Structure 1
């Protein structure tokens, strides 16, 4: 049997790569992918990164023309950005218009994340939004916001976020990389962005605050471009049993709802952020 040739991952400093480098997955066998780009980071692997890469791996196995319409992922162990992640895709079903996939992300022989994702052939039909986009001024009138740990993104908020303060729960965001006209790429980068803010920040106190993410879900309603301004809004919903839950939306600048999301995270006494 001829051995499979696997290239060594490129180790880059965070300032040297782009979000497209993060999405450069190497197919090492059928339905088996590996991250090419790794980098040093004092914190555990960013959850939005592994979720985006898992969705991309799944999307590369579905019939042409099918785009993501939903995903649900579980964070099981802390990952390491300086080590390559392996993604194994299971092809659960390909129907006439829907495809279902399961993805397992592995580092060092242990599962760090798993995801169920579904893909759909786009259809024309009724198009209704029950609620308007949250109120926000245009991004050009707002203050720069730097997304911690994100590659190739710029942000705008109504007021500055001082060092040590909580994340905002509503802000404009735009990918600064030149993106292709590919719906899968934009859905993947939306997923990358979707985990970037602490939606439970308004509930933070001196005795309890949000911690590690437990699970994360996204529904893609309409195709939107992430290299144009989008408004991300998170709303905290409830805290109970040491866990907190919030919902969120991502709108285009002209008010179309592109995606909805929800996440549950630990909510406990403050402790130092997870490090390797």
Structure 2
């Protein structure tokens, strides 16, 4: 699908063509002056991996390294390696390819349903309900709306706490909702809370998500990003994704370049 065929949706992002066994290709292409959004590549890589495991095995973690900039105007090919299928877990490796070069390398793990204790130690971040928050425009996301609650770092150039949900109905497929969460998880940065007089966060180096509990992404979820460290030209932050009921759905962490000068991937950069 191209931009000329109408405005793409999140369902277009989460559509892959099966080329051969363990080989998939994205079908959504569009013109974008910026490099291909990392959340899109990560979501599609997780979807490709998930298509190779038993339907009852859902992702519990992913770890991805962004190696090159991608191009939204060309399809991305995903090659899946089936590392292991055990009694409860399945391990997969995925490479995302454009022009024969690796854009993303990801490891993903899937787990069969398991009974056991369910304990959430920390309460959800304090935030006004979405209906009481003003709209927030987050760039690069298709079919997602957002709201801006009170901010823990009001001086941050980009909000570090926000509500989001898909504006299109998503099928009752937990894998698709995990992929939609992954798509959302790469937007924004916890490092925007840090002073930018001398340096600013840049492209993502690596990204990880742990899925704790199911969450529907066509319902509101709260994303909260927290900066922790900048050193060696790299910045690191963590984040959480919780539901309107305060249930912790996922945790994430990301490391980005943090180099002197303005971030060339930001508007006005």
Give the structure 1 partner of residue 71 of structure 2: 80
Do 1:170 and 1:232's aligned partners in 2 also have CA atoms closer than 8 Å?
A: yes
Q: How many Å separate the matches in 1 of 2:5 and 2:228? A: 34
Q: Does 1:154 align with 2:145?
A: yes
* Cα shift readout 1:184-207 (whole Å, capped 9, x = no counterpart): 000000000000111100113221
| Count of residues in Structure 1 that have an aligned counterpart in Structure 2 | 262
Give the structure 1 partner of residue 134 of structure 2: 143
SS for the counterpart of 1:38 is coil
Aligned pairs for 1:89-238 (under 5 A) are 89-158=80-149, 166-238=157-229
Q: Which runs of 5+ in 2 are unaligned?
A: none
* Cα shift readout 1:140-175 (whole Å, capped 9, x = no counterpart): 111100110100100000369xxxx72200011111
- Could you tell which deviates more after superposition, 34-43 or 196-205? 196-205
Change (3 A) 1:66 1:153: same
Q: Does 1:36 align with 2:27?
A: yes
TM-score normalized by the length of structure 1: 0.92
Q: What is the CA RMSD across the aligned residues, in angstroms?
A: 1.5
Q: Which runs of 5+ in 1 are unaligned?
A: 1-9
Do 1:71 and 1:115's aligned partners in 2 also have CA atoms closer than 8 Å?
A: yes
Q: How many Å separate the matches in 1 of 2:253 and 2:208? A: 5
Do 1:43 and 1:273's aligned partners in 2 also have CA atoms closer than 8 Å?
A: no
TM-score normalized by the length of structure 2: 0.94
Do 1:221 and 1:258's aligned partners in 2 also have CA atoms closer than 8 Å?
A: yes
Q: How many Å separate the matches in 2 of 1:35 and 1:98? A: 26
Give the structure 1 partner of residue 8 of structure 2: 17
Do 1:143 and 1:159's aligned partners in 2 also have CA atoms closer than 8 Å?
A: no
Q: How many Å separate the matches in 1 of 2:87 and 2:39? A: 30
Cα deviation, residue 231, structure 1:
0.5
Do 1:52 and 1:188's aligned partners in 2 also have CA atoms closer than 8 Å?
A: yes
Do 1:14 and 1:151's aligned partners in 2 also have CA atoms closer than 8 Å?
A: no
Change (3 A) 1:128 1:196: same
Q: How many Å separate the matches in 2 of 1:137 and 1:84? A: 40
SS for the counterpart of 2:2 is strand
Q: How many Å separate the matches in 1 of 2:61 and 2:263? A: 33
Out of 243, 246, 252, the residue aligned to residue 252 of structure 1 is 243
Q: How many Å separate the matches in 2 of 1:274 and 1:190? A: 22
